[in-house]
Amino acid sequence: MMAQLSQWVGSLPLSIMMRRITWLAPILQTLHILSTGIVLSSVVMIDMRVWGASRSGTALARSERFMPWMWIALAVVTLTGVGLMLASPRSFRDGAFVAKLYLMAAAILATAALPVMLRRNACGGKDAGVPAQLVGIAALLFWLGATLAGRGRWIAGMLGV
């Protein structure tokens, strides 16, 4: 089924056009990688406060400061990812790509849950509890896993594997 989906996407006029514009894929990849870095940086900055490694402000204030950056970068990652899938439909058959999508879904859920947990904290987010710390760890691990799954596909493609 995935092979047929990949063939269908590859035959779309938009997909054909995107493959003909030689500079489009590198631009999309660059934006995709930079936006991924912003997502990871935002998660790390929030987690550093949740774990107590940073003492400036409250965990909730840190979350409110970096979450908008993370959501905007996530939108760019999603849009460029769709563009890259259209430009290279063979990725639908890649197990690492499917794993990346599942890891991203889990990461988004964990990241969205973290500010909710901090708002409910009786200390006003000043001292994040153990559940928030565990969700912060999970969010970071999911984001790192999704990033590594994506880079694994990219490196394998460059090596011709």
Q: What is the pLDDT of residues 57-107, one digit of tens each?
A: 777 888 888 999 999 999 999 999 889 888 887 666 677 888 888 999 999
Give the pTM.
0.79
Residue 86 to residue 105: CA distance in whole angstroms: 20
Least confident of 24-38, 61-75, 118-132: 118-132
Residue 27 to residue 60: CA distance in whole angstroms: 35
Alpha-carbon dihedral 75, 81, 83, 85, rounded to 10 degrees: -150
Confidence of residue 49 (pLDDT cuts 50, 70, 90): confident
Torsion sign, CA atoms 2, 94, 80, 29: negative
Task: Tell me: pLDDT of 24 over 60.
Answer: yes
Decide if 57 contacts 126 (C-beta within 8 A).
Answer: no
Q: What percent of the chain has pLDDT over 90?
A: 30
109-119 average pLDDT score: 87
Q: Which residues contact 17 (CB under 8 A, 6 or more apart)?
A: none
pLDDT digits (tens, 9 = 90+) for 126-153: 566 788 889 889 999 999 999 888 776 5
